[in-house]
Amino acid sequence: MSSYSERIAIFIDGPNLYTMGQSLGFEIDFKRFLAVCKQNRRLIRALYYTALSHEQEYCAVRPLVDWLDFNGFSTVTKAAKEFLDGNGHRKIKGNMNIELAVDAMKLAINLDHIVIVSGDGNLRYLVEALQHMGKRVSVMSTLATQPPMIADELRRQADHFIDLADLEKEIARTKNIRRKT
């Protein structure tokens, strides 16, 4: 049972969460998302991880990162690496799993419950390590897409699985309809 004395932190794989929302057909309202995550708990930190492209004049995720910084989230960013694949197509790489894992391990001593928002199976060992430290670990992703966006081994390792699809009504961004007067 969750209580206000439960110390919680949320670790968000930004690109993974964005892709989940897109695949489920809704956009995340981060203010509502944060309210749902910290409901009846003492939020220690909400961290959002993403890579930023510094090669381009405009980076589409920059306004979101700036907004998150001023609205209760700590953002962790690094420069995305751009390269050409074997077919000569430009690709961008910016995996933040190491940063997320290191921060989770550093903060774990001050936490009771850790929520990881990602479906990446590479984080399974992090979940296991946190559990060995006596921490309760929830993983938020979705089974409602084809294929599911959560690695089976990550879902099975978690103490609790939260399907993002089940939270749509509480966390989806509502469209503002402006009336002409």
On the 0-12 / 13-18 / 19+ scale of CB atoms within 10 A, 57 is exposed
On the 0-12 / 13-18 / 19+ scale of CB atoms within 10 A, 122 is middle
What pLDDT digit, counting tens, does each position of 140-167 carry? 999 999 999 999 999 999 999 999 999 9
Residue position matching structure tokens 């998150």: 68
What pLDDT digit, counting tens, does each position of 39-58 carry? 889 999 999 999 887 665 55
Three-state SS across the chain?
CCCCCCEEEEEEEHHHHHHHHHHHCCCECHHHHHHHHHCCCEEEEEEEEEEECCCCCCCCCHHHHHHHHCCCCEEEEEECEEEECCCCCEEEECCCHHHHHHHHHHHHHHCCEEEEECCCHHHHHHHHHHHHCCCEEEEEECCCCCCCCCCHHHHHHCCEEEEHHHHHHHHECCCCCCCCC
Residue position matching structure tokens 């690695």: 151
Share of the chain above pLDDT 70, in %: 91
What are the phi and psi torsion angles at 149 (to 5°)? Answer: -95, 15
The pLDDT-based confidence of 96 (bands split at 50, 70, 90) is very high
pLDDT for position 158: 98
pLDDT for position 57: 57
Q: Are 40 and 138 in contact (CB under 8 A)?
A: no
Note the pTM of the prediction, 2 decimals.
0.88
What pLDDT digit, counting tens, does each position of 113-150 carry? 999 999 999 999 999 999 999 999 999 999 999 999 99
Residue 181 confidence (pLDDT) above 80: no
What pLDDT digit, counting tens, does each position of 65-75 carry? 999 999 999 99
Q: Residue ranges of the domains in the chain?
A: 7-170
Task: List the 42-52 sheet strands across, edge first.
Answer: 74-79, 42-52, 7-13, 113-117, 136-141, 160-163
pLDDT for position 55: 63
What is the fold of 7-170? Rossmann fold (3.40.50)
The pLDDT-based confidence of 5 (bands split at 50, 70, 90) is confident
